[in-house]
Amino acid sequence: MISLTRALYSKLLRYALKFGVIGLAGYFIDVSIFNLLRLGVAGDGHFFQGPIGAKILSAGIATVVTWFGNRYWTFREHRRQNYLLELAEFSAVSVGGILIGLACLWVSHYLLGFTSLLADNISSNLVGLVLGTSFRFLLYRFWVYGHHRADGLTAREHKAEAARMAIFEDEQSASEAAAS
């Protein structure tokens, strides 16, 4: 039972807790920038003061901040050499999570007819947030920062270890030893 708990923690729970901390930071950044822009702190009468412009900018900044947090803290041992591709995939998954929240709101509000402010908040900020966050966590963990990535930090370390061992052994033995 203890080994199962340790395995669960090292494989999933540790990442989920770090992911949650980074996600909360991103959430507060998003909400803060959105509200500051809407209140006219950056000036009046421009696209980014309106709700759509403010949300695009605040969500974009929050996505970059959470990418840095996840890249260098949550999934640091799986970050990749091609950081631009990693950022593009991270951003695509982020947009997918946002779309899940919007879909929950749309279904509740327009399909099911729950039009109160409370219903909108429950569908988007509770159901949509849980489903979207779960989607993002799984895709970040197993796709964007997956251990299968050939250019990931972990893969590069395994290759370097195999190369060091190959100096003293035949290549097959070194690869097997590095993999274990």
pLDDT digits (tens, 9 = 90+) for 45-96: 888 888 788 888 988 899 999 999 999 999 888 888 888 999 999 999 999 9
State the amino acid at position 33 in one-letter form.
I
Closest among 56, 1, 5 to 34, alpha carbons compared:
56
DSSP lists the bridge partners of residue 80 as 152
Which are the contacts of 14, defined by CB distance < 8 A and separation ≥ 6? Answer: none
pTM for this one? 0.68
Whether the predicted pLDDT of 25 surpasses 90: yes
Whether the predicted pLDDT of 116 surpasses 60: yes
Alpha-carbon Rg for the chain, nearest whole angstrom, is: 21
Whether the predicted pLDDT of 179 surpasses 70: no
Give the separation between CA 15 and CA 137, rounded to whole angstroms: 9
As given in the structure block, the two tokens for residue 49 are: 């003061």
